Amino acid sequence: MTPRLSVVVPFYGVGEYLGDCLESIAAQAWTDFEAILVDDGSPDDSAVVAKQFCARDQRFRLIQQDNAGPGPARDAGIREATGEYLAFVDGDDLVSRYGFAALVRTLDRTGSDFAGGNARRFNNSFGVRPSWLHKQPFARVRHATHVTEFPDLVLDRMLWNKVYRRSFWTEYGYTFPPIRYEDYPVALKAHLDAVTVDTITQAVYYWRERESGESITQQKFQLGNIRDRVTSAGMVIDLVEDAVPVVRRRTHAHLAQIDVLTLMSAFGTVPVEEEQHLVDLSRELLDRLDGDVLAATHRYDRIQHAALRAGDVDLLRRLADFRNSGGLRGGARAVPRGKRSRQLDNNYPGQGEGIVSRALYRLRDQDLTLATSVRGVVWVDGKLSVKGTAEIRHLETERASGLQIALVVDDTSHPLEVRRYDALDLHGDKSLVGFEVLLDRELLSQCTGAPAHFEVRMRSGRRDRKGMLGGQGPGSPGWAPGAWIDEDRWIQPGPGKYGWFSLRLLTDPCRLTAVEQTDDELVLRGRASFDEPELFLSRPVVGGEEEVPLEVDGRDFTARLPIRDIVAAANHDDPFGQRTTRVFRVRGPEQQQRVLLWTAGDAAVSRAVDDRVVTLTRSTGGYVNLHESPIRTTATRSVADGNLLVVCGSEGEDVSFSWRRYLADSDDHLDVACRRTLSADGWSAVVEVDSLIPVTAVKISVDPLAALADWILFATSVDGVAHAVQCEPFLCSRLPLAITQGAHALAVRPHAGTLHVEVR
């Protein structure tokens, strides 16, 4: 019987990851598929892994060819495909269990030519994070749309987060050019050719990145890569030449933002003998981009463009070095005269070069915007403490500057007393940008059902800027703890509309009040907001729910969750972490519905069964989550004791611990071993803080805001397998932990669920 979906998997040199990739495809909820594996002349054991997999699962079959590149490999797989639909997966990535099912069912309902979904980036060191490239195109569900209706779809330049109707693919005869970056010309042409397309918000694809992280600054110059990128971009420009103006302009702007920026950054690493080739290729692309689009780019971009047109490679190198180091993070200071003018000369290489006009460095008044961040959220003696930074971009924050912060409840503004202190500003300098506000219960009681926000107003000289407080950093700002302000009202801080930091007042919420463990069960006790409550477990990622039997006494209830039943029903949403997440919803007799709030103390409850663990914990919004996952070594406490940093946990196998730092542009790493101790309460990993401070000679970045080092806590099992230690949510809510060691500042903080130490 012909399968409905054909999945084409080209691979080359990914033997370390291919098995996991194929396992994620085999585990699909959509089982009516064939997988065509294309060995593109792999030099490693990838083909062996593929053959072994095909031998045990008849839905997989292998074809082999001499190395020709990913595009021709995909074409070879397509020729063998028989399904009604087509999908593509790269051999080192993963697909989510329900991704293909969601995309195929969407196409069955709408009749669109293809459907796409969201993507996640992942690795062992930083866990799973959203893919910023896919955030805009897939922020909303859109049925039967088109790139002319939604121009942000020009950002959707990958093949692998989609399912295509095979008849559509065949009608237009798509083939891939034999270059790298081969997917964008095909993906964009499909968007232009389609009658309609569908977008869904669900993460359907997990995109692997190197352990050291991946960014433009870490892409070593390779002439072949650059040449293929320019060729691909040129094909894209040809495609949109006669497109509607909004699509053409959006495409040109995207190429200027991504591809031209990559070429400019390559001047930081280009060998001398190849620099003229890079100049020629960069000019080739720049000359094809719309002049109005280039005129609207950042001033620093335009300086680089001017240097390129003048052929000033020395200046291009210095500009690239400055940009690659992160020196543009806060932008240039707007310094028209005096002391700050000299700072500008120091900050911007090339100032005074003949080809570059000083006018390019002058900032418009509207560029001097308010920048805020939230650094810490804690409850102190019944008061809510919010710490952060506020400054006007590109300006020095002077001692005479003024800062006002108010809590805005509905349309009423409540001024707050502000304590200011020195902290690192956007340029890495210590200045008067730090602040703390304390909110007492009387003020918090003014909150209503609508989220309350913080309005920030800053005055510096003649400039007066106003905006909402945002920019929650990792740690307690993202996992802010909530608290009761009286017997019935709970305040939950956290992210709100447009990313603003907000306070939510929950009056008599449905809540979890206590958790107990027996040998076989988790026993949940709680209180509902209404009589005759019913409790349901639902899957936020894929939908579906099941009712949980309750023992009810008025509005109080008890629920018993058999641990082995939860493990037996595991059906993970996340192909990397292999975790199943469920949330609790309470319903009343009149179909009232509430999410269950966590008010059951400041520690998660977990129970291991064989090699799996069931954990009851809280979400970023303070609600109750039930996770079923593989056993992972998890940190629950972190303290500093003199020159010692101690991390503790209660779950995990017999492992050794080390703090690991990946080298830039590499998966090579340095390890600092920890002293491991065991007790009845669990394990502890102890390291001397001094050992985490690198010498200046191995400083990773010259960016004053970048860390000297970013260490990740790793656990290594007896068989040599290493994985990053997980950071338990309640520990996240108590971080960052700040440590001062001589001239250095260290911060222990979570990143995407793993535990890091940043050294500055």
pLDDT at site 708: 76
pLDDT at 358: 45
- How high does pLDDT run on average in the chain? 89
User: pLDDT per residue over 531-559, tens digit each?
Assistant: 999 999 998 877 778 999 999 999 999 99
Listed range (34-38, 146-150, 209-213, 623-627) with the worst mean pLDDT: 209-213
Asked if pLDDT for residue 713 goes beyond 90, the answer is yes
User: Can you spell out the DSSP letters for 210-234?
Assistant: -TT---GGG----HHHHHHHHHHHH
The pLDDT value recorded for residue 102 is 95
Q: Are 459 and 471 in contact (CB under 8 A)?
A: no
Could you give the percent of the chain with pLDDT greater than 70?
91
| Interatomic CA distance for residues 390 and 608, integer angstroms | 45
260-278 pLDDT, tens per residue? Answer: 999 999 998 889 999 999 9
**pLDDT tens column, 635-653:** 999 999 999 999 999 866 6
Q: Is the pLDDT of residue 513 over 50?
A: yes
Helix (H, G, I), strand (E, B) or coil at 627: strand
pLDDT > 50? residue 701: no
Sole residue written with tokens 């290594």: 716
pLDDT at position 706: 54
Q: Kindly report, residue by residue over 93-107, the tens digit of the pLDDT.
A: 999 999 999 999 999
**Residue 729 reports pLDDT greater than 60:** yes
Q: How far is CA 257 from CA 286, 293, 505, in A?
A: 12, 10, 41
For residue 80, what are the contacts with CB-CB under 8 A and spacing of at least 6?
36, 61, 63
Check residue 688 and give its pLDDT.
96
User: 12 phi and psi, to 5 degrees?
Assistant: -155, 115
Determine the pLDDT at residue 373.
Answer: 96
Structure confidence at residue 325 as a pLDDT band (50, 70, 90):
low
Indicate if the pLDDT at residue 246 is higher than 90: yes
- Whether residue 211 is predicted with pLDDT greater than 80 in this model: the reply is no
| Domains of the chain: residue spans and CATH | 5-208 (3.90.550.10), 216-363 (no CATH), 369-500 (2.60.40), 511-630 (2.60.40), 634-759 (2.60.40)
- CA–CA distance, 243 with 740 (Å, rounded to integer): 57
Based on the number of CB atoms within 10 Å of its own CB, is 681 exposed (0-12), middle (13-18) or buried (19 or more)? exposed
Closest to 618 (Cα-Cα) out of 756, 732, 718: 732
Nearest partner of 659 among 750, 724, 612, judged by Cα: 724
Give the model's pLDDT for residue 345.
Answer: 39
Longest Cα pair distance anywhere in the chain, in angstroms? 82
369-418 residue pLDDT tens = 999 999 999 999 999 999 999 999 888 888 889 999 999 999 999 999 99
611 pLDDT above the threshold of 90: no
Q: Which range among 218-232, 282-296, 450-464 shows the weakest confidence by mean pLDDT? A: 218-232
How far is CA 149 from each of CA 137, 186, 190, rounded to the nearest angstrom? 12, 20, 15
Residue 212 pLDDT level (bands cut at 50, 70, 90): low
Whole-number Å distance between alpha carbons of 241 and 257: 18
